[in-house]
Structure 1
Amino acid sequence: MPAPADRKQRLVTAFQRHIANPLNRRLPFQTLLETTGRSSGLPRTTPVGGRRVGGSFWLVSEFGHKSQYVRNIEADPRVRVRIAGRWHHGTAHLLPDDDPVARLRTLPRFNSAAVRAFGADLLTVRIDLDG
């Protein structure tokens, strides 16, 4: 029998993949993260919550290294982020030494509450935006 954290991840991921993400991708001002598929080489777009601070965009992955977009970043850290309807190129950095719970306190409240509630293995991600 799978561990409770694994069951939780499967349920949340299925809901996001089949219901929430397809809807959120259509919203014009939803923040989107575009990675390159590590196997396919195709663009993969994921709705995310986070905040731009200066020349960086910060977010917290709710399932850490098990998240597909994190696995894509590990293979190729070059990404694009759509913030307020505008695309930005950048380089993603996984920050396992950052305190993701403390980081969530600096990010938008609604998304942060969802990440805390549904997440099982939090991981901070910083995207350094190009020019």
Structure 2
Amino acid sequence: MVPTPRVEPFAARLHFIPRSMRRVQAALVDSQRDYFSRAPGWVLLTTTGRRTGLPRETLLPCARSDNHIFLISTYGWQSDWIRNIRKNPKVQVTSNGVVVSGHAKMIEDLDDKTRIVSEHPFVPFAPFELVNAVALTTVTRPLLVAFLRRWVASRPVVLIRT
């Protein structure tokens, strides 16, 4: 059986944008660390650099459940944090003001990805408490879930067990 080629989202072609803004994002995270380390809908993910072995911190939108954090890569498999996790799935996450170690698992099966985003929807492009509260508790929830089910088709979903 021939494996089907992995389809990258259009955003993967735009990955040069966040790479070019790395220093700006790092300065923003450093200046607002207390907020981002506690804010609902955000997580500071620390991976191990696949080439350097150095810690790499990334600010990402997320959904949380009991002992799990769910992340979706906007830039597909081109994201550096995705590439780092593929090399070493041991990560640290700063969530709700607490730093914990975790193990990241790539979810590639489309049925599993759609099930996860259906059960744990979040607004990845606007992870703010008010936006998520409105989107998840009103008539917009089915629209959000439908969007996410389509959106994750070409993107990796990462499940982190803490």
For the superposition of Structure 1 and Structure 2, which TM-score range results when normalised by the shorter chain? 0.7 to 0.9
Q: Deviations over 1:26-60 (max 9, x none)?
A: 32131200000111111100001102201111111
Task: Pick from 4, 7, 10 the counterpart of residue 16 of structure 2.
Answer: 10
2:61 is matched with: 49
Identity of aligned residues (%): 28
TM-score of the two chains, using structure 2 as the length reference: 0.62
Task: Pick from 63, 73, 78 the counterpart of residue 66 of structure 1.
Answer: 78
1:127 is matched with: 160
The count of corresponding residues between Structure 1 and Structure 2 is 120
Tell me, in whole angstroms, the C-alpha distance in 1 between the residues paired with 2:78 and 2:57. 16
Tell me, in whole angstroms, the C-alpha distance in 2 between the residues paired with 1:54 and 1:80. 16
Residue 96 of structure 1 deviates from its aligned partner by 1.5
Who wins on radius of gyration, i.e. which is larger? 2
Moved over 4 A (4+): 4-7
In structure 1, give the amino acid aligned to 2:23. Answer: H
Please identify which structure carries the higher strand content.
1
Name the Cα RMSD after superposition. Answer: 2.9
SS in 2 for 1:29: helix
Residue 5 of structure 1 deviates from its aligned partner by 4.8
SS in 1 for 2:15: helix
Structure 2: segments with no counterpart, 5+ residues: 1-9, 37-42, 133-143
Residue 25 of structure 1 deviates from its aligned partner by 4.1
Query: Is residue 2:52 matched to residue 1:37?
Result: no
In structure 2, give the amino acid aligned to 1:73. Answer: I
Please identify which structure carries the higher helix content.
2
Tell me, in whole angstroms, the C-alpha distance in 2 between the residues paired with 1:40 and 1:103. 33
Residue 35 of structure 1 contacts residue 44 of structure 1 at CA under 8 Å; is this kept in 2?
yes
Tell me, in whole angstroms, the C-alpha distance in 2 between the residues paired with 1:5 and 1:39. 24
Residue 79 of structure 1 contacts residue 89 of structure 1 at CA under 8 Å; is this kept in 2?
yes
Structure 1: segments with no counterpart, 5+ residues: none
TM-score of the two chains, using structure 1 as the length reference: 0.75
Residue 63 of structure 1 contacts residue 123 of structure 1 at CA under 8 Å; is this kept in 2?
no
Residue 73 of structure 2 contacts residue 79 of structure 2 at CA under 8 Å; is this kept in 1?
yes
Residue 11 of structure 2 contacts residue 75 of structure 2 at CA under 8 Å; is this kept in 1?
no
Residue 49 of structure 1 contacts residue 59 of structure 1 at CA under 8 Å; is this kept in 2?
yes
